[in-house]
Structures are given as C-alpha cells and as structure tokens.
Amino acid sequence: MLRKMTSWFCRRFQSARNYGALTLAETFRRIYRTGAWGSDGERFYSGPGSRGTCSKDYCASVIQFIREHQVESVVDLGCGDFSVGRRITEATRVRYTGIDVVPELIEHLRSTVHDPLISFQCADITVDLLPVADLCLIRQVLQHLSNDEISRVLANLGGFSHVLFTEHLPLHPVSINRDKPHGPDIRERYGSGVYLEQHPFSLPVVEVWKYPLNQNSILKTVLLRQDGNRIPDAAA
C-alpha cells in the first residue's frame, strides 16, 4: 500500500509539473503533439482505448441504444481522432457533432471527413455552450480532468435527453473520485476512478454496460437518469 501511495504522489507531482499551468486546450495539444497516448502512424491518435475489442463492444452497445431510443442526433464530447464516432455514425446515420478542445485536431477532421450528417466543433466542454442533441456521449474523457473540471462539465449538460458516461475503472478500487490535475494520466493507475454516483458529484445514474479491459480493470458506462430534460447542477 505504501508503494502505491508513493507512486501516486510521484505521478501526481509529475502531471502537475508538466500540465498544471496549462489550459485544457494547451494540455491536450501537448498530449497529441508528444504522443503521450502512443501512436499508430497517424497525425492524431487518441490512444488504445479507441481501438480493440472493448471499443468495438462499446460501439455495438451505443448503436443498439440509438436504435432502441430512436435517437436522431448525437453530440460526442471529447471525440478525439473519431475512430469510435466513425463506427457509430456509419452504422446509424445519425446527425453527429464531434467536439474537442484541440483546434488542429478539429481542423484535421473537418478536412478529412466529408459527410453532410457529420460536423465538428472546437470547444472547451467545461465552459463553452454546447449544441443540443438527443444523446450525449462522454467516453473516457472525465478521467483526464480534475474533480472541479468534471463538476463544470456536468453542470454544462442541460441540452441532452440522454447522457452516457463511460470510464476506465479499477476492478477493486482503493479510493473513490481521488482528485488529480488534468493531464494524460487517469485515476485507475492510482486504484481510483470517476464514480459519478458518489461524492462530490452524486448524480442519479444507472449502470447500463460493463466490459472487462484486463484482469484488474473494466470499462463501465452509466446513463444519467434525467428529470425531464434537466440535469442536476453538479457544481452547486
């Protein structure tokens, strides 16, 4: 346990030193520029979480959700390199808006994706006005933010009928919602994760899917239980 705590403090110090003084846009620009999530030979790569069997299972579940709930429009917050969004839109032909905070990434997607049903916007999801849609997807995004930034995102989601949150979580957590500076690392490395039903967020969510990632972690999706079209103000 002491070794884990020491490792957590070292990682947190390193992340704060590298990214703490940067804005979210500057942080994620650096992540893509330095290949902090790896590389597959493409200019922009959102990491292994956007590839492989688990991402395919996630896409299949979202596609089924869209069909069952007659979803016609989707906003994907933190759309990244669009490898996940592409599979969803090809199968469903919904109106799709991908949002990311990195200007160069958005320009790249606009120049390479040519579909009248698909658009991309550059925005900081903690403060900027978001488009309205039937469904909002937030997949493995909150895990890179601080608790305060997560709360601001949650308070910014009033324009959606359905919100699906997906997070990488430890199978046996040692803590809940441990805070961290924004950056490429995630809480799962410290034996923690983003649990929206727990303090300090305390949102009314229900688990809808859960897939194993490895022997120690899972990919879990929860659905926000809406009161009409309103979302609780998590920052209050």
What is the pLDDT, as a whole number, of residue 234?
Answer: 41
Q: What is the largest CA-CA distance in the chain?
A: 54
Tokens of 134: 């039937």
- Judge residue 120's burial from the number of C-beta atoms within 10 Å of its C-beta, 0-12 exposed, 13-18 middle, 19 or more buried: buried
* Lookup result for tokens 């956007």: 50
Give me the pLDDT at residue 13, please: 44
Give the pLDDT confidence score for residue 47 in this predicted structure.
Answer: 58
At position 42, the amino acid (one-letter code) is: E
The predicted structure's pLDDT at residue 16: 54
Q: Which two tokens stand for residue 65?
A: 């959700």
Is 107:133 a contact under the CB 8 Å cutoff?
Answer: no
How would you write the pLDDT of the chain (236 residues) with one tens digit per residue?
445 444 444 454 455 557 778 999 999 889 888 876 556 666 666 655 666 677 899 999 999 999 999 999 999 999 998 999 999 999 999 999 999 999 999 999 999 999 999 999 999 999 999 999 999 999 999 999 999 999 999 999 999 999 999 999 999 999 999 999 999 999 998 999 999 999 999 999 999 999 999 999 999 999 997 654 444 444 33
Containing H/E element for 161? strand 160-170
The full set of domains in the chain, from first to last, is 2-224 (3.40.50.150)
Terminus-to-terminus CA distance in the chain, angstroms? 34
Predicted model pTM: 0.86
Amino acid 46: pLDDT? 61
CA-to-CA dists, residue 167 to 16, 102, 117, 136, angstroms: 22, 21, 27, 14
- Cα–Cα distance, 116 to 219 (Å, whole number): 31
Residue found under tokens 């979480």: 49
pLDDT recorded at residue 197: 97
